[in-house]
C-alpha cells in the first residue's frame, strides 16, 4: 500500500498494488529530496489507514469500503485503459458486482460480474473519489 502524494504536494489517498506485479523499487529518483523536505516542512508523513486488510483482494475491497466511500478498481491485464469506481454491491466465491458511480456523481445500474483475480490495483481516499462521493450524497 502506498500513500500517494499529489501534484500539489499533499497526501492524497492510497494505492494498493499486488506484490507479484512489482518488478523493481526505485529508492533514488529526481524529486526525492524535494518531496522529503516538503513533507518535513508541511508536517505530513505517510500512514496506514486502520482496519484495511491487505491479505487478499476480497478482504481489501471489503475493509477499504468500510472506511472510505468509494473504491477505484483497476484490472490492467484484462482492461488496461479502464477502471471502475464505486462500491461493492455483492461478492461471492471469486467474483464481485459494483454499484458504479459516473464521473458526474450519479449511481449507474450495472450487474456485470468481475473476477477478484483480475484486480491489479485498488485506490481509495483520494480527493477525486471523496468529492464524487460527497456530490452523490454518499457518506464521507
pLDDT at 14: 98
pLDDT at 91: 86
pLDDT at 78: 96
Instruction: Average the pLDDT over 40-53 and give the result.
Output: 95
Catalogue the long-range contacts made by 6-13 (C-beta closer than 8 Å, 24 or more residues apart): 6/126, 6/127, 9/35, 9/38, 9/42, 10/42, 10/44, 11/44, 11/46, 12/125, 12/126, 12/127, 13/123, 13/124, 13/125, 13/126, 13/127, 13/129, 13/130
**Mean pLDDT, rounded, of the chain:** 94
Q: What are the structural domain ranges in the chain?
A: 16-25+52-136
User: How much of the chain, in percent, has pLDDT values that exceed 70?
Assistant: 99
pLDDT at 139: 67
Q: How confident is the model at residue 140 (pLDDT cuts 50, 70, 90)?
A: low
Which CATH code fits 16-25+52-136? 2.30.30
Look up the pTM and report it.
Answer: 0.92
Q: How confident is the model at residue 120 (pLDDT cuts 50, 70, 90)?
A: very high
Q: How confident is the model at residue 17 (pLDDT cuts 50, 70, 90)?
A: very high
List the grid coordinates of 88.
461493492
Q: How confident is the model at residue 110 (pLDDT cuts 50, 70, 90)?
A: confident
Instruction: Average the pLDDT over 79-85 and give the result.
Output: 95
Instruction: Average the pLDDT over 62-68 and give the result.
Output: 96
Amino acid at each position: 500500500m502506498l500513500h500517494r502524494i499529489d501534484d500539489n504536494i499533499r497526501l492524497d489517498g492510497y494505492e494498493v498494488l499486488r506484490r507479484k506485479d512489482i518488478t523493481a523499487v526505485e529508492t533514488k529518483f529526481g524529486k526525492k529530496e524535494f518531496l522529503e523536505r516538503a513533507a518535513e516542512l508541511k508536517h505530513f508523513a505517510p500512514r496506514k489507514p486502520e482496519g484495511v486488510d491487505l491479505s487478499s483482494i476480497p478482504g481489501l475491497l471489503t475493509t477499504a469500503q468500510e472506511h472510505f466511500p468509494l473504491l477505484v478498481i483497476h484490472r490492467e491485464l484484462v482492461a488496461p485503459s479502464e477502471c471502475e469506481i464505486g462500491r461493492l454491491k455483492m461478492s461471492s466465491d471469486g467474483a464481485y458486482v459494483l454499484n458504479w458511480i459516473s464521473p458526474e456523481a450519479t449511481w449507474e445500474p450495472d450487474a456485470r460480474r468481475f473476477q477478484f483475480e483480475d484486480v491489479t490495483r485498488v485506490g481509495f481516499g483520494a480527493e477525486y473519489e471523496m468529492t464524487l462521493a460527497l456530490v452523490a450524497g454518499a457518506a464521507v
